[in-house]
């Protein structure tokens, strides 16, 4: 986890939260936007395989995320990236750590 930059910490939390929403009955347009978000997250640090390992957010983690989001979008992301907060999310969802530990594909060519 030491090598996980702050932006990736909040991104992993967002991936987990989006996977939670994907497990519900949501409109097709929203589902597509979430899947496109996953695609945009792939790079040399977060591979598609790593993203696939992230499990949906549990109820307790979701309550934590909702509380953080009350601070506003930017501040919530800052809170998610803090070590003590991120480690609390990892304790509830160890798949976040699994994703971090996965081999990276530094030769991944991404097209914009």
Per-residue pLDDT of 52-85, as tens digits, reads 999 999 999 999 999 999 999 899 999 999 999 9
- Domain range for 16 is 6-101
In a domain? residue 18: yes
In a domain? residue 112: no
Q: For residue range 86-101, what is the model confidence (pLDDT) as tens digits?
A: 999 999 999 999 999 8
In a domain? residue 53: yes
Q: What's the confidence (pLDDT) of residue 109?
A: 42
Number of structural domains the chain divides into = 1
Q: Which residues contact 86 (CB under 8 A, 6 or more apart)?
A: 1, 9, 13, 80, 96
In a domain? residue 106: no
- When mean pLDDT is compared over 1-10, 84-93, 101-110, the highest value belongs to 84-93
In a domain? residue 81: yes
Burial bucket for residue 59 (CB in 10 Å: 0-12, 13-18, 19+): exposed
- Residue written as tokens 């750590």? 97
In a domain? residue 35: yes
Say whether pLDDT at 37 is over 90. Answer: yes
In a domain? residue 111: no
In a domain? residue 97: yes
């Amino acid at each position: 986890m030491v090598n996980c930059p702050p932006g990736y910490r909040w991104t992993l939390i967002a991936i987990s939260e989006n996977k939670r929403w994907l497990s519900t009955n949501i409109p097709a347009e929203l589902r597509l936007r979430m899947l496109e978000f996953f695609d945009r997250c792939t790079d040399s640090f977060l591979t598609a395989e790593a993203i696939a390992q992230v499990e949906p957010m549990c109820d307790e983690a979701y309550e934590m995320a909702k509380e953080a989001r009350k601070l506003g979008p930017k501040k919530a992301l800052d809170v998610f990236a803090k070590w003590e907060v991120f480690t609390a999310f990892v304790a509830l969802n160890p798949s976040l750590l699994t994703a971090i530990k996965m081999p990276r594909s530094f030769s991944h060519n991404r097209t914009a």
